Amino acid sequence: MTDLSHLPERSRVVHRHLSDAGLSAQIRVLPDSARTAAEAAAAIGCDVAAIANSLVFLADGSPVLVMTSGGHRADLSVLAHGIGATEIAMAPASVVRSSTGQAIGGVAPVGHPTPLPTYIDESLGELEETWAAAGHPHTVMPLTFDELRRITGGQVIPVV
């Protein structure tokens, strides 16, 4: 059994979810916070486009998770169309926390109290490897695009 004592509790939940999905999770603890894509890319040593941001939006009032490339900002009108929502807005921190159990800057694609409808930026599919938060602002994990789709059940859409 893997010793997870070095991981924050929320990252242990993410690790269990990945293990249950058959993935050998390799969660990395960073010495400094990686709340932004630029901070995460600098700490990991990868291009900012390889950072898979986990963003919670309110789509017609309901929280959804959108995995976007750190290389660009989501266009809300394109996003709304891809999701099939009339209105879309960033969720406030309180909704992010209650929906995911995780803080902004550390939201993982999985490990939430109840799985959220998930949408994945199609541009992430162009990368061999992506890096996502692992439940805490100091933890990240590598995932392939196929692994990200599989563990989230996410629908691939354009976001820009």
83 falls within a domain: yes
Residue 71 lies in a domain: yes
Query: Within a domain: residue 108?
Result: yes
- In this structure, what CATH number is given to the domain that contains residue 145? 3.90.960.10
Instruction: Answer yes or no: is 2 within a domain.
Output: no
Containing 18, the helix (H) or strand (E) segment is helix 9-20
Its domain, for residue 41, covers: 9-157
pLDDT at 1: 53
Residue 21: inside a domain: yes
Spatial distance between the Cα atoms of 110 and 18, rounded to a whole number of angstroms = 8
pLDDT given for residue 143 in this prediction:
97
CA of residue 98 relative to chain centroid, distance:
16
Q: Is residue 95 part of a domain?
A: yes
The number of folded domains in the chain is 1
What's the Cα-to-Cα distance from 1 to each of 19, 65, 149, rounded to whole Å?
11, 31, 26
- Give every residue of the chain whose pLDDT is below 70, as ranges: 1-2
CA distances from 151 to 53, 72, 111, 142, 143 (A): 15, 23, 10, 13, 10
SS3 of residue 103 by DSSP:
coil
